[in-house]
Amino acid sequence: MHKKLAPKLDTQFKQEVYQGLTSYPKFLSSKYIYDKAGDALFQDIMNMPEYYLTNTEFSILETYKEQLAQYFFNNEKPFHLIEMGAGDGKKTKILLHHFTDKKLDFTFRPIDISQNALDSLQANLKDEIPELATEPMQGTYFETLKKLNFATDERKVILFLGSNIGNLLHDQAIEFLSKIQEYMQPNDLLFIGFDQKKHPQILLDAYNDTTGITARFNKNLLVRINRELEANFDMDSFMHWEVYDPESGTAKSYLVAQSPQQVHIEKLSLDVTFDAWETIHTEISQKYDDKTVHWLAEKSGLKVLETFSDAKNYYKNYLFTKSV
Ligand SMILES: C[S@@+](CC[C@H](N)C(=O)[O-])C[C@H]1O[C@@H](n2cnc3c(N)ncnc32)[C@H](O)[C@@H]1O
């Protein structure tokens, strides 16, 4: 009898795709959207008028860069500016320019799962701020953070911008923030962007633009599985769908199968069956208010030192330290 060989799940990508597509309901992690095409699509998203997140955080950093320099500066001692999920560093560059102009002694350490994003960021920084010391690290947040050990008098300032934290549900965010808190010394700082609750239509428009860029971004997950795992997803038979619950503040992205179908994934030795209108949940974009951010901080052993917001209170950046 012909026996089907068990698939070799020898990478985290294969394991997670296998797990997500053999579960019910199905899911995939949005972190795999970011390959070369996904990085470029995210840059297109940041340039969309509907995607207010980039401009609002940009304006906050521009307005408060001097105040932040004073917080981050460590009494003549060097500090490490670590950015988790740096992407193209578009907004971080405001701080990098300001801090180098002020001749602050620091090293910039961007972390990203996408090697492509890090390569273009590094090339770009070499060009724009040649005097900046940059040490990029490729990998997922914690696998990378674990490798960074510095002398205790060298302050670590950890940036987590773009409301990337919103990709986590609250219990995951508490686990995530607690891990960062354990990694921090009392002198270290954590600076995070949290997109705020606002008119639900503004939120829905940001994640479901009429030109279809967000849809292409979401579908890039399937394009990547097709290419890297030799699958045959038919892009036209899946649609992007966004929902927002104003009570919980959770926006969710889905890929929805518009007809019954079967997809073969050669490298996972897997056939995946979809009923009509079956979903793949791909992303969470959690929205916050002050009460929720303070609650998350308290649960994670952190305290809020200062809050910075844009003129419309669409978006806020919070500066945290360890609470004990
Ligand atoms: C939404 S983009 C934001 C980029 C930038 N922080 C900003 O605010 O514009 C998310 C970035 O985080 C990276 N990323 C997503 N999940 C990650 C993970 N688990 N570990 C490391 N990087 C991750 C992606 O590759 C991407 O560059």
Given the CA of residue 163, which atom of ligand 1 is nearest to it?
Answer: 8
Asked if the structure places residue 3 within a domain, the reply is: no
Sign of the dihedral defined by the CA atoms of residues 196, 161, 98, 183, in that order: positive
182/171 same-domain check: yes
State which residues form the domain around 93: 53-196+289-322
Tell how far the Cα of 140 is from the centroid of ligand 1, in angstroms.
9
282/293 same-domain check: no
pLDDT at 76: 80
Tell how far the Cα of 77 is from the centroid of ligand 1, in angstroms.
29
Residue with tokens 């503040």: 249
88/205 same-domain check: no
150/126 same-domain check: yes
Calpha distance 27→165 (Å, rounded): 19
pLDDT at 4: 59
pLDDT at 95 over 90: yes
Average pLDDT, integer, range 98-109: 96
Q: What is the CATH number of the domain that holds 109?
A: 3.40.50.150
Asked if the structure places residue 84 within a domain, the reply is: yes
190/318 same-domain check: yes
Asked if the structure places residue 48 within a domain, the reply is: no
Token readout for 259 is 């007809």
Ligand 1 neighbours, Cβ below 6 Å, are 31, 34, 42, 85-87, 90-91, 111-114, 117, 140-141, 161-162, 164
146 falls in which pLDDT band (50, 70, 90)? confident
pLDDT at 213: 98
How wide is the angle at C-alpha 236 spanned by C-alphas 230 and 237, nearest 5°? 85
Tell how far the Cα of 30 is from the centroid of ligand 1, in angstroms.
10
Token readout for 179 is 């891990």
Asked if the structure places residue 42 within a domain, the reply is: no
Asked if the structure places residue 304 within a domain, the reply is: yes
Asked if the structure places residue 95 within a domain, the reply is: yes
pLDDT at 75: 82
111/145 same-domain check: yes
Over the Cα atoms of the chain, what is R_g?
21
pLDDT at 1 over 50: no
Asked if the structure places residue 46 within a domain, the reply is: no
Best of 32, 164, 180 for a ligand 1 pocket test (most atoms within 8 Å of beta carbon):
164
Nearest CA to 248 out of 294, 292, 205 is that of 292
Best of 28, 30, 31 for a ligand 1 pocket test (most atoms within 8 Å of beta carbon):
31
pLDDT at 153: 79
Q: Mean pLDDT for the chain?
A: 95
152/267 same-domain check: no
79/169 same-domain check: yes
pLDDT at 41: 98
Say what percent of the chain tops pLDDT 70.
Answer: 98
Tell how far the Cα of 278 is from the centroid of ligand 1, in angstroms.
28
State the burial class of residue 162 (Cβ atoms within 10 Å of its Cβ: 0-12, 13-18, 19+).
buried
pLDDT at 3: 52
Tell how far the Cα of 43 is from the centroid of ligand 1, in angstroms.
12
pLDDT at 8: 84
Half-sphere exposure of 92 (CA within 13 A, CB side): 28
Count of domains in the chain? 2
Calpha distance 264→209 (Å, rounded): 30
pLDDT at 184 over 70: yes
Task: Give the pLDDT confidence of 211-263 residue by residue, as tens digits.
Answer: 999 999 999 999 999 999 999 999 999 999 999 999 999 999 999 999 999 99
107/188 same-domain check: yes
Average pLDDT, integer, range 110-130: 96
Tell how far the Cα of 41 is from the centroid of ligand 1, in angstroms.
13
pLDDT at 262: 98
Average pLDDT, integer, range 287-298: 98
Calpha distance 65→6 (Å, rounded): 54
147/63 same-domain check: yes
pLDDT at 5: 62
Calpha distance 142→179 (Å, rounded): 8
Task: Give the pLDDT confidence of 123-140 residue by residue, as tens digits.
Answer: 999 999 999 999 999 999
281/309 same-domain check: no
Distances, alpha carbon 323 to alpha carbons 96, 181, 256, 305, in Å: 27, 9, 43, 10
pLDDT at 214: 98
60/146 same-domain check: yes
Asked if the structure places residue 64 within a domain, the reply is: yes
